[in-house]
């Protein structure tokens, strides 16, 4: 068996750089409950792991691409967080039926995100088509 994966720990500045944010943003997300506070080990500094990188990346992506408010985002991501936690607990202790229910909830959650992403994509495609048409017209006038 492989030994426990080396749990790399990041300080807040590293987490910020890895996710294209700033320490202030990370602290703000913790302040409003969007992100769990990095563990304050012995000292006073926050320490983060790989899963925090993934989480912040997801938050930033949905924030930028879907234009959601942080409150809307926390509802969306909250569901997933709860799911991840419960999944960990049930992975060993859960009955097959309970696991099945968890996965079905996960599906619903993914579908919700897919709806949002697809709606946005369609809007962008429409705008793109209009711009292409506009360009065609200008070009037509340029070369009579």
Partner DNA sequence: TTGCTCCTCACGTCACGTGAGGTGGC
**8 binding DNA? (CB under 7 A):** no
Least spacing, CB of residue 23 vs DNA, in Å = 5
Stretch that binds a second copy, among 32-40, 44-52, 68-76, 123-131 (CB under 8 A): 123-131
Residue 3's beta-bridge partner residues?
none
- CA atoms of 45 and 63, how far apart (whole Å): 27
- CA atoms of 14 and 38, how far apart (whole Å): 12
Footprint of DNA on 95-134 (CB under 7 A): none
Instruction: Output the CA angle 65-28-116, nearest 5 degrees.
Output: 20
- Burial profile 99-131: b = 16 or more Cβ within 10 angstroms, e = fewer: eeebeeeeeebeeebeebeeeeeeeeeeeeeee
Footprint of a second copy on 38-97 (CB under 8 A): 61, 64-65, 67
**20 binding a second copy? (CB under 8 A):** no
**118 binding a second copy? (CB under 8 A):** yes
**12 binding DNA? (CB under 7 A):** yes
Least spacing, CB of residue 10 vs a second copy, in Å = 23
Least spacing, CB of residue 77 vs DNA, in Å = 13
């Amino acid at each position: 068996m492989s030994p426990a994966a080396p749990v790399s720990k990041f300080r807040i500045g590293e987490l910020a750089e890895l996710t294209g944010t700033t320490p202030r943003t990370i602290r703000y997300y913790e302040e409003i409950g969007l992100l769990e506070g990095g563990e304050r080990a012995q000292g006073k500094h926050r320490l983060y792991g790989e899963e925090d990188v993934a989480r912040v990346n997801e938050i930033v992506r949905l924030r930028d691409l879907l234009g959601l408010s942080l409150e809307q985002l926390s509802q969306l991501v909250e569901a997933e967080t709860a799911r991840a936690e419960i999944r960990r607990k049930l992975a060993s202790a859960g009955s097959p039926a309970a696991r099945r229910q968890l996965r079905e909830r996960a599906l619903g959650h993914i579908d919700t995100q897919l709806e949002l992403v697809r709606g946005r994509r369609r809007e962008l495609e429409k705008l793109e088509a209009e711009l292409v048409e506009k360009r065609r017209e200008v070009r037509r006038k340029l070369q009579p």
